[in-house]
Amino acid sequence: MAAAVALAGPSRGIVLILLAHVAFTTMDTTNKWLAGNYPVGQIVWAFYLGFAAAALARAAANGGIPAALATRYRALHLLRAALLPVNMGCVVLALGLLPMAEVMAVGISYPLMITVLSALILKEQVGPRRWAAVAVGFLGVLVILRPGAAVFQPACLLILAAAALFAVYQILTKILGRTDGPVSLTLYTALVGAALTSLVAPFDLRAPDATGWALLALTAAAGTIGHSLVIQALETTPASVLQPFNFVQLVWATLAGYLVFGEVPDSYTVAGASIVVGSGLYVWWRERVRAGAAA
């Protein structure tokens, strides 16, 4: 962490985003174990309690909580923030049913969905090459899912739903980021998520043992650290520069699944994930070329 702080500019952002994905993989690995022993709502609630505490402390240290909550687009903030706990619930539920590598391989299709939504909602220009890359990427998802085959897992639909929710969440982040800063975005995300999960989780709680308490605390800490690192990375480095490094989480997830749970991804998952990652990298590259040409 100290090395990351010592760096500056894009290099610092890249190191921070890589560390963030280590934190997120730790959270996912912990959530996979917890999902076999505790209700999903309780797991998500534990994360949001820690996240809300950290977000409140950050807002208090950066202009105050009332200033962070001041916005002209409160309804849009509430909508955006409400998407994330549902997204996380889908992911945690899927982690309890599927191998980590398969969950992540389908989940990393969200940048392709963002490209589609950018054209439909933000009216951004998407050329035929990027549309072709998106189509190829979704073919990669089909390779992983194998719909119609005997091995198809309906739980994979949870990951597709989670990816779609996260893509919409990112689009709303782009819109709100034009007027509101990261402290405000983070605080709304944390408080709304904590409020919504607090309405649901208490109705289905299981008393944790010592291991359960430790892992619930770990998932809250790892998720909070991961989000904090992403925010710091985006403050110093453009999102377009960081995008390719988001795919590294697939590597961490595969390693964690093998080392902790003994999971080995099958050839279809590896092939489909390679197609999705390749398509995502091509979309990123075309966006960089287009931005360079416009400049």
Write the secondary structure of 48-105 as one string of H (helix), E (strand) and C (coil).
HHHHHHHHHHHHHHCCCHHHHHCCCCHHHHHHHHHHHHHHHHHHHHHHCCCCHHHHHH
Query: Where does residue 291 rank: exposed (0-12), middle (13-18), buried (19+ CB within 10 A)?
Result: exposed
Instruction: Tell me the domain boundaries of the chain.
Output: 2-294
Torsion 127-128-130-134 (CA) sign: positive
pLDDT one digit per residue (tens) for the chain, 295 residues: 444 445 555 678 888 888 998 999 999 999 999 998 999 999 999 999 999 999 999 999 998 999 999 999 999 999 999 999 999 999 999 999 888 988 988 888 888 888 888 888 878 777 788 788 888 888 888 888 776 555 567 888 899 999 999 889 988 988 888 888 889 999 999 999 999 999 988 888 899 999 999 999 999 999 889 888 888 887 777 766 777 777 888 888 889 999 999 988 888 888 888 888 888 788 777 767 766 666 6
Distance CA 260, CA 8 (A): 35
Q: How far is residue 100's CA from residue 253's CA, in Å, rounded to a whole number?
A: 6
Longest Cα separation, the chain:
58
Contact assessment for residue 16 and residue 233, using Cβ atoms and an 8 Å cutoff: yes
Among 190, 161, 177, CA closest to 81: 190
Comparing CA positions, the residue from 102, 107, 112, 101 lying closest to residue 252 is: 101
Sign of CA dihedral 7, 12, 18, 19: positive
Residue partners of 142: CB distance under 8 A and separation at least 6: 272
At 10 the pLDDT is: 65
C-alpha span between 12 and 15 (Å, rounded): 5
pTM for the model stands at 0.83
- How high is the pLDDT of residue 212? 92
CB 130 within 8 A of CB 284: no
Q: What is the pLDDT of residue 14?
A: 82
247 and 77 Cβ atoms separated by less than 8 Å: no
